[in-house]
Structure 1
Amino acid sequence: MTDIKRLEIGPRMSQAVVHGGVVWLSGQVGAPGESVTAQTQTIVKRIDALLAEAGSDKSRLLQATIWLASMDDFAEMNAVWDAWVDPANPPARACGESRLATPDYKVEIIVTAAR
């Protein structure tokens, strides 16, 4: 039986869960009210930190799901994403528009990675 490791456990959710060599991150958001660029930069830094804590890194990403409050922000978010993602190991990715937890959130990113 493989153990389940939970990182940064809160009352509602864990920020990451590791099981069977796979790392699942919860949806990561930036500071409410910041620009799409600033929120995306905060998110990818947070992803890096959580993956490192779980024993992985962005070169091991398997999948990413990106939610934007407005698809009008697609190019702005992608400018940050493209500068950050490992070009030799990009994940499978989907991006869509969704109403996020508050109107001040513009971007939310969920990733799954191999350990």
Structure 2
Amino acid sequence: MPQDVSQPFTSSIDGSPAGGLARSASGGADDEMISGIRSVLAECGGLAVDAGTLAVDDDLYAAGLTSHGCVGLMLGLEEQFDVEFPEKLLNRRTFESIAAIRNAVCGLLDGGEA
């Protein structure tokens, strides 16, 4: 009998057949979301730097995000991802980094609140 046919699809990261593949798929979706967030940041955030140069954990307020820019960013994110930020997420921590925004939007898309 032939060997397990799933073997050629193992991940070079950890060698597991499905685990690596799932991580790649979710990484692609994550990359797409981060790209969307960067796009909204560039258009609506009023940052002092290019949004494309920021790491996902960089402090957006240190990069020039103001309270006015934050409102524009929130509205842009709501339109981009078809979500609505509840009042409890309208705080500095939600918009402090691309990673924080991603987590909030993911929580809203999953049907809950981040």
Q: TM-score, normalised by structure 1?
A: 0.32
- More helix by proportion, 1 or 2? 2
Q: Which has the higher contact order (CA 8 A, sep 6+)?
A: 1
